[in-house]
Homo-oligomer: A and B are copies of this chain.
Amino acid sequence: MARTADVDDLVARARKGEPRAVARLITLIENASPQLREVMAALNPLAGRARVIGLTGAPGVGKSTSTNALVRAFRRQDLRVGVLAVDPSSPFTGGALLGDRVRMQDHASDAGVFIRSMASRGHLGGLAWAAPQAIRVLDAAGCDVVLVETVGVGQAEVEIASLADSTIVLVSPGMGDSIQAAKAGILEIADVFVVNKADRDGAQQTVRDLRNMIALAAPEGWKPPIVPTVAVKDEGVADVVQKLDEHLAWMEDSGELNRRRRARARDEIEAIAVTALRERMGDLHGHQRLDVLAEKVLDGSCDPYAAADELVEGLTESG
């Protein structure tokens, strides 16, 4: 157990952008360390400068390649970049670390880039609890841009949008028809669509499909642009950065940036509160109260709503 002095030291070193201190702080988040309270109190006043960009898409669409290409593009503008790769399905930090090492090769000698994977599965609060805290660490460590990349499909995809200022949804030709895409709810979360592997057959059709879907949805305010890229050759990446800049400018003008950041802060506070309450529920009478209530629901003597009432009551008594 580290003492407060250690936390102070860690925070001070992270502020200077020292990679090992940053890594250590993110590990504290992965482990849901009790020291986080202290860490976040120290970091919060330093954060709020970074621009957070989410990047999602189905497996195989070229997320890592696109992230790397974006990192290079931002580095050319001399911006410090943090990359947080979140895999909500993975309980294995080991696997994530392997991925880091492979990726790091591109930027290994670059002190202006910090790349870290984070497993959030198994966390009580999941992505909603862990990711904003990791973003804050990278933000406070001086990153100008934080790229949050997630293994797409379903909930993770939707959650990433609530973490980011701007969300890029990557698709590639032949990765499934537009109905699949519409079902996954990507239309609503995309601020910028990127059609990667645009040198492949069917790219034009994919762009047309997306354009039709956007037209059908008739979004008010920002209309998500569609940018073709070949990330592996760095083609089109500058266009993506430009569209991101335009989106940022629009958000600042329209007040959307503040709205999103407030929503993000609300979500984070709520996630921390819910996690705390959930722990308290589990702790009630040494876990026994919930067990007893579960038995009653199973034998039919109590319905789940009445059981939940009892649980909440116990919480308020002990609160």
Q: Which residues of A contact B (CB under 8 A)?
A: 36-37, 40-41, 43-48, 59, 87-92, 95, 121, 126, 132-133, 151, 153-158, 176, 180, 182-185, 261-263, 265-266, 268-270, 272-274, 276-278, 281, 290-291, 293-295, 297-298, 300, 302-309, 311-312, 315-316, 319
Smallest CB separation, A2 vs chain B (Å):
17
Contacting residue for A265 out of B176, B269, B297, CB 8 A: B297
B278 engages A311 (CB within 8 Å)? no
* Cross-chain pairs A/B with CB under 8 angstroms, 11 sampled: A37-B305, A47-B300, A133-B304, A154-B154, A154-B155, A262-B298, A265-B293, A269-B294, A272-B307, A273-B308, A277-B277
* Integer count of this chain's copies in the complex: 2
A36 engages B305 (CB within 8 Å)? yes
A298 engages B151 (CB within 8 Å)? no
Q: Which residues of B contact A176 (CB under 8 A)?
A: 59
Q: Which residues of B contact A304 (CB under 8 A)?
A: 40, 44, 132-133, 265, 268-269, 272
A294 engages B266 (CB within 8 Å)? yes
Q: Which residues of B contact A90 (CB under 8 A)?
A: 183-185
Contacting residue for A278 out of B37, B47, B154, B274, CB 8 A: B274
Q: Which residues of B contact A88 (CB under 8 A)?
A: 154-155
A89 engages B183 (CB within 8 Å)? yes
B305 engages A312 (CB within 8 Å)? no
Interface of A is mostly: helix
Complex CA gap A319/B315 in Å reads 9
Q: Which residues of B contact A40 (CB under 8 A)?
A: 303-305
Smallest CB separation, A36 vs chain B (Å):
7
Complex CA gap A273/B313 in Å reads 10
Smallest CB separation, A246 vs chain B (Å):
24
Q: Which of A263, A265, A302, A311 has the most B CB atoms < 10 Å from its CB?
A: A265
A269 engages B307 (CB within 8 Å)? yes
Complex CA gap A70/B263 in Å reads 44
Q: Which residues of B contact A121 (CB under 8 A)?
A: 155, 158, 185
Q: Which residues of B contact A89 (CB under 8 A)?
A: 153-155, 157-158, 183-185
Complex CA gap A59/B90 in Å reads 18
Smallest CB separation, A278 vs chain B (Å):
6
Q: Which residues of B contact A319 (CB under 8 A)?
A: 312, 315-316, 319
Q: Which residues of B contact A36 (CB under 8 A)?
A: 305
- Which B-chain residue is minimally distant from A98 (CB atoms)? B179
Complex CA gap A304/B265 in Å reads 8
Q: Which residues of B contact A297 (CB under 8 A)?
A: 44, 265, 268-269
B290 engages A266 (CB within 8 Å)? yes
Complex CA gap A228/B313 in Å reads 50
B274 engages A290 (CB within 8 Å)? no
Q: Which residues of B contact A132 (CB under 8 A)?
A: 304
A276 engages B308 (CB within 8 Å)? yes
- Which B-chain residue is minimally distant from A89 (CB atoms)? B154
**Given known contacts A183-B92, A305-B40, A270 and B298 CB-to-CB distance under 8 angstroms:** no
- Which B-chain residue is minimally distant from A37 (CB atoms)? B305
